[in-house]
Amino acid sequence: MLVLGTRPEAIKLAPVVRAMAASPHFEPLVVSTGQHREMLQQMLELLQVEAKVELDVMRERQELSKLTARLVDGLGEVVHAERPDLVVVQGDTTSALTGALAAFYEHIPVAHVEAGLRTGVLDNPFPEELNRRLIGRIARWHFAPTPRAAGHLTAEGVPAAEVFVTGNTVIDNLLWVLEQGAGRDHFRSDLRRVLVTLHRRENQGDKMRAMGKTLRRLADRGDVEIVLPLHKSPAVREALLPELSDHPDIRIVEPLDYVDFSATLAGCDLVLTDSGGIQEEAPTLGKPALVLRTTTERPEAVEAGAAQLVGTDPQVILDAAVRLLDDEEAYRTMAKAGNPFGDGHATERILAQLAEDFGVDTAAAPALNPLVVPQPDGPGSYSTA
Ligand code: UD1
Ligand code: UDP
């Protein structure tokens, strides 16, 4: 049983679902929690993921406690009724945490995809850092995207024999989507192309409004086109729309489907984002990323030189963006840094390990290509604070 509820979970579990469906050894049963509605629906069909069970837990602006309660209730019933051999969850959303919890209550083992990411700050990102730490206590298989992530888990006492470095499935999916054919790049002009996404809870409110003002100042340069696919969250819309509407060089669009988003990312010059997944995809496509957060659980991109953790101060954000737009050398260095998150074969490694542990004889998965990652030095060191 694969539990997914938000846009990034659909994207990152899609290759696992496709590979299980194509394998004689697995029967994927996808449970869509509906934590996201439109943003999830627009992904599933396109990524060839068919949900067998659909819950409908989204309510506008619902509190995390309500969302969590609805999910534990709904997923508890599904796991109890279906009794799968294994529950797979991905990342750190409320759907992932409650999927793991519901499985635990039914004594069903849990595999965690994208395990071991940490900022070391319990409430940043909020609530995701807590969610992933809790899933780390429940899971039997921890599929870590990088050696650093694996190191976080073993440092927390997870037995090394239960931790596997696989790369991130986001790369598997991105490469698959790019192979499927071209999407539509949503930039319209010959100006410098800046792609922006913002949605994190800890950025919402005044911080996000201030970021909106900064983006407007950036667009006022006159040589920049900003495309911003706007997250469906009302809190995000409230903060950004008043600041960004009616500017000739700012295009606000609805969330893009993955094919168009990949094309738009491939077509941009620079990314400004507080997204997790986009920090992984941008270096894969050679796009410098400015991370508009005070912490990141993906320091590998910063260390590789592909991303910069700029924080949330409006002037610092503006200066960093202007520098990359005006300083060709600085830009080139970031663009050429490379992707430290995987080689596109994470899914094969995950399935091979599960098959082995369930006693199924399969061909060995390819060895992980050398990643540009240093050894872990413990959580907590990647914050601007
Ligand atoms: C969630 C995840 C976050 C992830 C993000 C991906 C949690 C706690 N957070 O945050 O880790 O980075 O998804 O985007 O699980 N909404 C819609 N339509 C949609 C999606 C959302 O209307 O398709 C609105 C609803 O009013 C919803 C609100 O957005 O209540 C917030 O959604 P929610 O899933 O609670 O949190 P996100 O901020 O999206
Ligand atoms: N994405 C997309 N369309 C958009 C914006 C993002 O398909 O309009 C994809 C993006 O490529 C990435 C994922 O959504 O794979 C990131 O989702 P989000 O930023 O919502 O969540 P996070 O990764 O921060 O958890």
Q: How confident is the model at residue 369 (pLDDT cuts 50, 70, 90)?
A: low
Mutate to test the pocket of ligand 2, among 275, 280, 284, 296 (most ligand atoms within 8 A of CB): 275
Distance 275 CA to ligand 2 centre (A): 7
The 10s digit of each residue's pLDDT in 300-321 is: 999 999 999 999 999 999 999 9
Nearest CA, atom 15, ligand 1: 93
Distance 356 CA to ligand 2 centre (A): 32
Given a cut of 80, whether residue 361 has pLDDT beyond it is no
Distance 99 CA to ligand 1 centre (A): 16
Q: How confident is the model at residue 379 (pLDDT cuts 50, 70, 90)?
A: very low
Tell how far CA 188 is from the center of its chain. Answer: 27
Q: How confident is the model at residue 335 (pLDDT cuts 50, 70, 90)?
A: very high
Given a cut of 50, whether residue 52 has pLDDT beyond it is yes
Predicted pLDDT at 181: 84
Distance 237 CA to ligand 1 centre (A): 12
Q: What is the mean pLDDT of residues 86-115?
A: 98
Instruction: Confirm whether 199 is a catalytic residue.
Output: yes
Predicted pLDDT at 368: 65
Q: Does residue 61 line the site of ligand 1, with CB under 6 A? A: yes
The 10s digit of each residue's pLDDT in 159-212 is: 999 999 999 999 999 999 999 888 999 999 999 999 999 999 999 999 999 999
Distance 277 CA to ligand 2 centre (A): 6
Domain architecture of the chain: domains with CATH = 2-168+342-357 (3.40.50.2000), 185-335 (3.40.50.2000)
Mutate to test the pocket of ligand 2, among 278, 293, 297 (most ligand atoms within 8 A of CB): 278
Tokens standing for residue 380: 């907590």
Instruction: Confirm whether 128 is a catalytic residue.
Output: yes
Q: One of 7, 9, 36, 92 is an active-site residue; which one?
A: 92
Phi, psi at 142, each rounded to 5°: -115, 105
* 340, 300 Cβ separation under 8 angstroms: yes
What lines the ligand 2 site, CB under 6 Å? 7-8, 11, 170, 197, 199, 229, 255-256, 258, 261, 275-278, 281
Nearest ligand atom owner, CA of 11: 2
Name the average pLDDT for the chain: 94
317: left (phi over 0), alpha (psi -120 to 50) or beta: alpha
Q: What is the mean pLDDT of residues 284-305?
A: 97
Instruction: Confirm whether 112 is a catalytic residue.
Output: no
Instruction: Confirm whether 77 is a catalytic residue.
Output: no
Predicted pLDDT at 375: 29
Q: How confident is the model at residue 365 (pLDDT cuts 50, 70, 90)?
A: confident
Percent above pLDDT 70 for the chain = 95
Q: Does residue 36 line the site of ligand 1, with CB under 6 A? A: yes
258 CA closest ligand 2 atom index: 7
HEC sequence for the chain: CEEECCHHHHHHHHHHHHHHHHCCCCCCCEEECCCCCHHHHHHHCCCCCCEEEECCCCCCCCCHHHHHHHHHHHHHHHHHHHCCCCEEEECCCHHHHHHHHHHHHCCCCEEEECCCCCCCCCCCCCCHHHHHHHHHHHCCEEEECCHHHHHHHHHCCCCHHHEEECCCHHHHHHHHHHHHCCCCCCCCCCCEEEEEECCCHHHCCHHHHHHHHHHHHHHCCCCEEEEEECCCCHHHHHHHHHHHCCCCCEEEECCCCHHHHHHHHHHCCEEEECCCHHHHHHHHCCCCEEECCCECCCHHHHHHCCEEECCCCHHHHHHHHHHHHHCHHHHHHHHCCCCCCCCCCHHHHHHHHHHHHCCCCCCCCCCCCCCCCCCCCCCCCCECC
pTM value is: 0.95
Given a cut of 70, whether residue 133 has pLDDT beyond it is yes
Predicted pLDDT at 385: 34
